[in-house]
Structure 1
Amino acid sequence: MSSSNPPGGRTLGILNPAAGLKRFELRRHAPAPDLAALVDWHWVVRWSLPAPFEQEILPHPCVNLAIQVNGSIVNGLGTRREVSRLEGTGRVVATKFRPGGFFPFARCPMRRLVDRVVPLAEVFGDAANALEREVLDQPDDLLGVRAIEALLRAHRGPSDPGLDEAMTLAARAQGDRDIHRAEDLARVAGVSVRTLHRAFERYIGVGPKWIIRRSRVQEAAERVASGASVAWAALATELGYHDQAHLIRDFKAQVGFTPAAYAARCAAASAARG
């Protein structure tokens, strides 16, 4: 099982990462091969802070499972920018599912979990309490990850061809810059837009248009946070926007700042990081 530290790679979803990575350590671990179709990665955050810190996050279209001292949770797909408050000393051992990847474990339409945080036991029953104790009492992160994977294997539902197709299409919506609208994705799938939306609400939780917009704004924010000079008109074209104004409007609506203001915040954090 491999691991990686985001300072050497991409930090999609973590806003102003230079500010956050001064205050916490984030490590990612690849899932076991038999779970890789459903799990994107496992992640572990550790911190020890003299003062509280609030990390802003632009969520991916997926579910996260988190084992933590103040109550282990299933964090449903979040449509809004989130703020995670860290204080004192702590650790979270968590699993990030692929879009749609949590469906075999929840066994309910994913739209029910959108913008919701539920106790882990609500999904996994008594096994959740045993898992929480095992992970929190275990200082070895990889052993904690393996314990989470054992729980997932024990609760995995039957295969579902509809899920497989929806997950493939969601990945296409995230990564294919030639897909600009839900109609484009429906054409690829050979179904009506209405049928596509029903499948996405059931297996993913949100519609394809939302996924398209979110992935593009995350990519734009990543470019800004890297410190590179961004040619916004060219980037708008690359990401499939009609023009620069549409990208800037989407960016501000999701990130909460104009691209220029966000770039200034990231630059200031990078300079302070030194």
Structure 2
Amino acid sequence: MPAPDRVAALVHWFWIPEWRIAPGRASRQHTISFPGCNLVVESDTVGFAGPTTRASYRDLRGTGWAVGALLRPAAVRAFTDEPATLRDSYRSVPEPDLHAAVSAAMTAPGERTDAHRHRAVEAFTDWLTATVPAPTEEALLANVMADLVGTDPTVLTVEDAAERLHVSVRTLQRLAGRHVGLPPSTMIRRRRLQEAAERLRAEPATNLAALAAELGYTDHSHLANEFRSVLGYTPSGYRRQVHRDDTDPG
């Protein structure tokens, strides 16, 4: 769900999963997350998820919901001075007012509808605007940096990004460290990996060597190593798995 304009500098988007799993069963959700931090309200807690460096999973059981905000870099330092120390971690944070406001919206009487979800996002947004200080110039520059390396396919190196932003490589690395918790090179690699995974899903016949060259990998083995280290698959194995999942009638 898009972030309201009044928190557009603080939140990329809101996400609201809901689940109902049969008793005694579990549903394992695999993810390769956007390289950022999330603030998440669940039925029994508020959690802060640090930036991820690898694929992860969560086993869902019973009935539940969550309302999460993918934070933009400008919001991160309102919750931690050292986001790098929270890599691949999920910690409860004491924010009872946020929990109460979002929970009231999600558990209002009646069958849950889009109206409940929109009210939950509005409650989350109200809390953010009241709690998070206005972003500094440095924090806003970190937003621009993250948008650039996360969306521009022509940015293949840290030097490319620094040149486009008219800053030094050292400044770029400092921005990413203070406001994201990951090196800019890692953010660029994540974007390229997500592009590669999406291409293999959408176009299974894609030539892997050509794809590696197009995305700035030194060769096919470089792409394969990146896939294996983050997703646990080779590109060929990922392509077979996706195709099997998409064609499995069960």
TM-score range normalised by the length of the shorter chain: 0.7 to 0.9
Is the Cα–Cα contact under 8 Å of residues 167 and 204 in structure 1 kept in the other structure?
A: no
How high is the TM-score relative to the length of structure 1?
A: 0.80
**Per-residue deviation, residues 48-97 of structure 1 (Å, max 9, x unmatched):** 22321111111211111222124221111111211111122222222122
Is the Cα–Cα contact under 8 Å of residues 177 and 238 in structure 1 kept in the other structure?
A: no
Identical aligned residues as a percent? 29
Aligned to 1:250: 226
Task: Write the distance in 1 (CA, Å) between the matches of 2:15 and 2:36.
Answer: 14
Cα deviation for residue 273 of structure 1 reads 4.8
1:168 maps to 2:144? yes
Cα deviation for residue 136 of structure 1 reads 4.2
Shifted more, 213-222 versus 64-73: the winner is 64-73
Structure 1: which 5+ residue stretches go unaligned?
Answer: 1-28
- Which residue of the other structure, out of 56, 68, 71, is the alignment partner of 2:42? 68
Aligned positions of 1:1-274 closer than 5 A: 29-50=1-22, 51-98=25-72, 100-103=73-76, 105-106=78-79, 108-121=81-94, 125-138=95-108, 139=112, 140-226=116-202, 228-273=204-249
How high is the TM-score relative to the length of structure 2?
A: 0.87
Task: Write the distance in 2 (CA, Å) between the matches of 1:164 and 1:101.
Answer: 6
Is the Cα–Cα contact under 8 Å of residues 227 and 267 in structure 1 kept in the other structure?
A: no
What RMSD, in angstroms, separates the aligned Cα atoms of the two structures?
2.1
- When residues 101 and 130 of structure 1 are mapped into structure 2, their CA distance, relative to the original with a 3 A threshold, is same
Is the Cα–Cα contact under 8 Å of residues 177 and 240 in structure 1 kept in the other structure?
A: no
When the two structures are aligned, how many residues end up with a matched partner?
A: 242
Q: Which amino acid aligns with 2:100?
A: A
Structure 2: which 5+ residue stretches go unaligned?
Answer: none
Is the Cα–Cα contact under 8 Å of residues 56 and 82 in structure 1 kept in the other structure?
A: yes
